[in-house]
Homo-oligomer: A and B are copies of this chain.
Amino acid sequence: MDEVSVLAPATVANVVCGFDCLGFALGEPFDEMIVRRIDEPVVRIVNVDDFGLPTEPERNVAGVALQAFIEAARLDHGFEIVSNKQIMPGSGIGSSAASACGAVVAANALTGERFTKLELVEIAMAGEALASGSRHADNLAPCIYGGFTLVRSTEPLDIVEIDFPPLFATVIHPQIEIKTSEARAMLPKDVPLKSAIRNWSNLGSLVAALAKGDYDLIARSLEDTIVEPVRKSLIPKFDEVKSAALFAGALGGGISGSGPSIFMLSDNEATSQTVATEMARVFEGTNMNFNVHVSKIADSGVRVHQ
């Protein structure tokens, strides 16, 4: 086998009270990528989408991830990637993670599946470091494992798969730019112990509620009094969008990653569609362009086709 095509899903990180640890995989959108084995020990990138991403491997997220893969596997050959991205860079739903994960999962399939999922996340972190300037796995973990994942620790990397019931996500992406560095600078350095306790009580409860399939408890646990209150100012009409979604029957939600996308969870597909309509209605009254995605939370991460 010298060529595979992969589909790498968009992902939501910073799931409300699960800031910096909890994420999940969307059913769509996803990036398409064809990866071929080539004899030279280099990475070649061909972009067939319109995003104008760099083709020099050391400046390209998928390229850096593949170079890390080649090094980790001590390969004497290289890869060519034909990348057809669907996940808009800068949308806050794991566009760079999809690039990195798609590339390493494809490379692993082409070289005898020598790495575990955990090791693939570790390797893909090189790509994320290029994209965001920091080593983190919040989007990589759900992109590779699928479903809900919790990154307990990055050093050493420890990823926990969280059981969950059928859930539907509505994501709205207002096309404004949020600089990750700016979103990061807004975070408080210290938080009141009381707020921290409230947050970990909610996260513990959310994990239990997901495992039990208790939708009411999921809804009650989806509360963030630490990050959302400061970051929501980066997203015009955040409160209105969220209220409209909750009024339409969503269980809860918040900022996806560091924004600008907003995600909401519902316990059935019809509600997630109504939620989409109501969220969109808020942005229709503005001059912002936006995309809406509705999908079931995906059980599987990157999918490989030969």
User: Which residues of A are interface residues toward B (Cβ below 8 A)?
Assistant: 17-22, 150-153, 158, 160-163, 187-193, 196-209, 211-212, 217, 220-221, 226
Contacts A190-B191, A208-B150: A158 and B18 contacting too (C-beta < 8 A)? no
Which one, B150, B151, B196, contacts A199 given CB within 8 A?
B196
Copies in the complex: 2
Contact indicator A150/B205 (Cβ below 8 Å): yes
Contact indicator B192/A189 (Cβ below 8 Å): yes
Which one, B161, B189, B191, B204, contacts A204 given CB within 8 A?
B204
Which one, B188, B204, B217, contacts A193 given CB within 8 A?
B188
Which one, B192, B193, B217, contacts A160 given CB within 8 A?
B217
Contacts A152-B205, A193-B191, A199-B196: A220 and B158 contacting too (C-beta < 8 A)? yes
**Please, how many angstroms separate the alpha-carbon atoms of A125 and B59 in the complex?**
59
**Please, how many angstroms separate the alpha-carbon atoms of A150 and B208 in the complex?**
9
6 smallest beta-carbon distances between A and B, as pairs? A196-B196, A200-B200, A152-B205, A190-B190, A21-B201, A207-B207
Which one, B151, B204, B212, contacts A18 given CB within 8 A?
B204
